[in-house]
Structure 1
Amino acid sequence: MQTLNRKIKKNVSLIFFGLWLSAYNTAWAESDMQLQEKALKARELTHQQSMNHTQHANQTDETQGFRGVFYGYLPCDEEDCDGLKMTLSLKQKDNYLLVTQPAKPSSREFYDKGKYTWDDKTHTLSLVSKKNGTSQRFTIKDAGTLIQLNSDGKPMPGDQDDYALQRSDTAKSRQVHIH
């Protein structure tokens, strides 16, 4: 009987040890996908460490400071026009959206999309329309103000502040009152 008890205890101990060992091994087992992800991350890390990042570590996009939305109320040449509400949105990848609306109750908005370029020497922003290839120019007075130029790239006649578009985060209000 003692021999039988010893055998049973030995077998029960082996069974519990086997169960514990199998449970322990499944907790440590990794799936193929997890192993592939680890290998990919290790390869990317090795590749990144071998690259020289000093050349572009401190580069900044010069137009980054002038991206954003600019609002203004500009005069117009036509007699029956009280002015133009203008919204210029400078977006990433040098894209822009220009919305103009005559300052009349319930008047239609006109949209123009295209590309913009920035000339660092002249501080000029040029918009080129996707529709018809026409261009408009603005000079950058400061980080929050654009001044519209004529088609020749020269200042408009009169007070230049009348042709100003204010950046939305620097403008006090974008509401326009028509009298």
Structure 2
Amino acid sequence: MIKINLPLMFFSTLLFAHQPALALSDMQMQEKVLKTRESTSQPHMDHSAHDKAPDQSQTFHGVFYGFLPCDDCDGLKMTLSLKQNNNYLLVSQYAKESSREFYEKGKYTWDEKTRTVVLTPRKDAAIRQFRIEDEGTLVQLDSKGAPMPGNQESYTLRRSDTVKSRQVHIH
């Protein structure tokens, strides 16, 4: 009796061992049928957009620091945070005895052709523009998008990961 059951047990073991392979190929076949069905039912879909590079404006972000000149003060400490969702926060502090900080929030746009970042505030404030020198450096422009008068290095903001210290000293 054991001799008769032994081949039956061996055959059933082989059958169960091959079952996951059959199930996997069955799943693959279902996926193939589904893809074919989608492509024939939606021939007007253009999937070439998936191959395009991501929008660089979505990757241009960070925290930028600088100490800029000021007409009626000793200088202006500026921290600009460009966030991934195209929101910005600009924190300014005049070089005076008071340590009061001024906050400005809004949206920013990034133009690769003109290499500029334009800050549009939420409240009634002037639109600001910066020229992109490289991924870690912004240079402030005037209200018309022209370079500021004088030394351009004085109007530079540097991204936090490109400078050794995050501290900007006000004298």
Structure 1-normalised TM-score? 0.66
2:88 aligned partner: 96
2:60 aligned partner: 66
2:166 aligned partner: 174
Assess if the C-alpha contact under 8 Å between 1:72 and 1:174 holds in 2.
no
1:111 & 1:56 partners in 2: Cα distance?
A: 39
- Quick check: 1:151 aligned with 2:132? no
2:120 aligned partner: 128
Select 2:76's aligned residue among 62, 69, 84: 84
* TM-aligned CA deviation for residue 133 of structure 1: 5.3
1:57 & 1:167 partners in 2: Cα distance?
A: 30
User: Mind listing any 5+ residue stretches in structure 2 that lack a counterpart?
Assistant: 1-29, 40-45
Q: 4+ runs of 1 displaced by more than 6 Å?
A: none
2:18 aligned partner: none
Aligned letter for 2:69? P
* TM-aligned CA deviation for residue 177 of structure 1: 2.5
Q: Secondary structure of 2:103's partner?
A: strand
Q: Map Cα deviations across residues 16-68 of structure 1 (whole Å, 9 max, x no partner).
A: xxxxxxxxxxxxxxxxxxxxxxxxxx9xxx68x94875522443121244201
* TM-aligned CA deviation for residue 173 of structure 1: 1.4
Structural RMSD (CA): 2.3
Change (3 A) 1:76 1:133: closer
- Quick check: 1:116 aligned with 2:104? no
Q: Secondary structure of 1:63's partner?
A: helix
2:153 aligned partner: 161
- Quick check: 1:56 aligned with 2:50? yes
* TM-aligned CA deviation for residue 126 of structure 1: 0.4
Q: Which has the higher contact order (CA 8 A, sep 6+)?
A: 2
Aligned letter for 1:63? S
Summarize the alignment of residues 6-21 of structure 1 with structure 2, pairs less than 5 Å apart: none
Of the two, which has the highest radius of gyration? 1
Structure 2-normalised TM-score? 0.69
